[in-house]
Structure 1
Amino acid sequence: MPTDTQPSSDTQSKKSDSILVADGVTRKFGGLTAVDVEHFEIQRGKITALIGPNGAGKTTFFNLLTGFDEPDSGEWTFNGQSLHGVPPYKVARKGMVRTFQLTKVLSRLKVIENMRLGATGQRGEKFFPSLFKGLWSGQEKENTDRAMDLLARFKLDAKADDFAGSLSGGQRKLLEMARALMVDPELIMLDEPMAGVNPALKQSLLGHVKSLRDEGRTVLFVEHDMDMVRDISDWVVVMAQGKIVAEGPPDTVMANQAVIDAYLGAHHDAALTHETEEEILAAAEAELEAEAEAEENS
């Protein structure tokens, strides 16, 4: 685990070798500020978890970083290159890919066809070369061989000729992860990879995520399963109300009061004195009396 920085509730840590860096990223929807991130870094070759309660802005932040949404302000770079305004398909070509909380497999295409679509720079996609099979058939065979190797790795090779729509929820998660690897990415961003996955497939997915790190890839994932976060993460970043409130190694972050407050509400464990209880009851009774009086006068 990284040890060069300490968790903080108000400032974000500088990493020694960052693959992704974001500064001043904000996104507002009307009067609601969904994302307000001052500074965010992902260390190369590590597994980083992005956690926080529902509505914290995690998925919105994912969408901003990968080009699926436009921020109101801010800059972010991948391998030192700005991604501001770069569309999602070009972000993927640069080596930064993502999966979705709700899987985006193409249900009416076969599993192998879904995989081939993940490959970039396919000559057969252009009109003129597509007319001459000899110009693209060799490349398609290479892509198919790579796709089958990945399907075998994710234990989906027996499903290669099945329609993707016939797969279970967990198998679709595996297919998305396998398809993402078709571009040989440096950074893989997983949005709630364990959501809706049965316990048997959870362990398989955990193993695959760890194997990505073992290959030297960088992983950033959003997850609510704290056991998974503690098991596989090198570093944890916590969001609440659009802001980063803490970060650090898993065990340290889990014990951080700012994290506990973010998930359970500030002062959730404060002792309720007799005086405070009386004040709460009196306020509640006054509110009920006011409502009753209003009904009588209406």
Structure 2
Amino acid sequence: MDGEQMTDATLPKLGALVDVPNEPGAKKPDPIVVGDDISRQFGGLRAVDVGHIEIQRGVITALIGPNGAGKTTLFNLLTGFDQPDSGSWTFNGQPIHKVPAFKVARRGMVRTFQLTKVLSKLSVMENMRLGATGQMGERWWMAPFRFLWEGQEREITERADELLVRFKLDAKKEDFAGSLSGGQRKLLEMARALMVDPELIMLDEPMAGVNPALKQSLLGHVKSLRDEGRTVLFVEHDMDMVRDISDWVIVMAQGRIVAEGTPAAVMADQRVIDAYLGAHHDTDLSDLDEAAIAEQVMTEIQEGE
């Protein structure tokens, strides 16, 4: 965390986490998202099995875990891109577990994707304009009457221009989105998400495929979202990034939340080490009953013969 860049409004929100226990499903003083008994099964695989989860408002929370832990599936469920087998969750106290993705976004909960979803054949500016919701010109009965919606379109374009300058994409605004580099597409997707002025932004592996030159820029933008008072929840495998920018970390393994806490506490948690490297990976063999192990091995060899 970069304390020097934090706003005065951010510091109390971080301080509120001091008394939160470093335990799975820990209750937060001011959660923006609360979920209970969320499950999703694909055939015989239970991809998500979360008993309770809370996301604190106004801070950056990292969702980490080994491949196949269920992180992206949980993202898809919370944002309405997939439906659970069971469970419920709220956003700002309102239930959204049966709300479609576009309505979830309108309520102020937006996400990006690990594989960017830019519209390649449209310009960068057109991608930005499409990110705005509630556009009157999209209604078929108003479309012929430009004078009714041109003022709103002008405001949308001005906001898009401001965001493109902020994300250093203004020089590319007339280029096809498909011509952007992988890192620039990540920036565009993040900028487009801000067109709806969201309260909660969920980033799915924002650093995947990004070259080192743009990585620091993306890190700065994520921090700025928190400093503006927004809530950020992100999935990431880069542990250096997790340590650098997250205020709280939630760890998943085999679909469940196995640990959570501050970055320092989580990195030292044996449950996290086991989740990533396998239980007893660091057990000293001298402490085990080597005679029993040898006997078991010999028995298996004889049975194989």
Q: Give the whole-Å Cα distance in 2 for the aligned partners of 1:192 and 1:280.
A: 44
Change (3 A) 1:276 1:182: farther
> Which whole-Å deviations, capped at 9, do the CAs of 1:119-165 have from their partners, x for residues lacking one?
01101101111111111111111111100100000000000000000
Residues 1:5 and 2:20 aligned together: yes
CA distance in 2 between partners of 1:279 and 1:65 (Å): 50
Residue 243 (structure 2) aligns with: 230
How far residue 193 of structure 1 moved from its aligned partner, in angstroms, is: 0.3
Q: Pick the aligned partner of 1:145 from 155, 158, 164.
A: 158
Distance 1:258 1:135 in 2: 59
> CA offsets per residue over residues 4-52 of structure 1, 9 Å max, x none?
21212xx411111111100110111112111010110011100000000
**What CA distance in whole angstroms lies between the structure 1 residues aligned with 2:265 and 2:72?**
24
The corresponding residue for 1:293 is none
The secondary structure found in structure 1 opposite 2:142 is helix
Where does residue 270 of structure 1 map in the other structure?
283
Contact 1:4 1:15 in 2 (8 A): no
Q: Which residue identity lines up with residue 260 of structure 1 in the other structure?
A: I
User: Scaled by the length of structure 2, what TM-score is found?
Assistant: 0.91
Aligned to 1:296: none
Equivalence map 1:48-127=2 (5 Å): 48-127=61-140
CA distance in 1, matches of 2:234, 2:299: 44
Name the aligned partner's letter for residue 156 of structure 1.
L
Give the Cα separation in 2 of the matches to 1:286 and 1:208.
62
Contact 1:28 1:34 in 2 (8 A): yes
Q: Secondary structure at the match of 1:136?
A: helix
Paired letter, 1:56: A
Distance in 1 separating the partners of 2:227 and 2:299: 58
Where do 5+ consecutive residues of structure 1 fail to align?
A: 291-298
Runs (4+) off by over 3 Å: 273-287
Q: Quote how far apart the aligned CAs of 1:278 are.
A: 3.5
Aligned residues: 287
Matched residue SS, 1:128 = coil
Q: Tell me which residue corresponds to 1:185.
A: 198
2:211 aligns with one of 193, 198, 212: 198
Output the CA distance in 2 between the equivalents of 1:12 and 1:54. 21
Distance in structure 2 (CA, Å) of the matches to 1:175 and 1:279: 61
Partner of residue 5, structure 2? none
Once the two structures are TM-superposed, the CA of residue 286 in structure 1 deviates from its matched residue by 5.6
SS of residue matched to 1:37: strand
Report % sequence identity.
74
**Distance in 1 (alpha carbons) for counterparts of 2:296 and 2:152:** 71
TM-score (norm 1): 0.93
Structure 2 CA distance for partners of 1:135 and 1:267, relative to 1, 3 Å: same
Aligned twin of 2:230: 217
Shift of 1:281: 5.6
Task: Tell me the residue number matched to 1:294.
Answer: none
For structure 2, the 5+ residue unaligned runs are 1-13
In structure 2, relative to structure 1, the CA distance for the partners of 1:33 and 1:141 (3 Å cut) is same
2:99 and 2:214 mapped to 1: Cα distance?
34
CA contact (8 A) 1:46 1:234 kept: yes
Alpha-carbon RMSD across the aligned residues, in angstroms, is 1.5
1:239 corresponds in structure 2 to 252
Moved more, 276-285 or 34-43: 276-285
1:129 aligned counterpart, secondary structure: coil
Q: 1:283, CA displacement in angstroms?
A: 6.9
**Quick one: which of 118, 134, 158 aligns to 2:147?**
134
Deviation per residue, 1:184-225 (Å, 9 max, x gap): 000000000000101111100000000000000000000000
SS in 1 for 2:32: strand
Match in the other structure for 2:174 = 161
Amino acid across the alignment from 2:98: G
Distance 2:213 2:35 in 1: 36
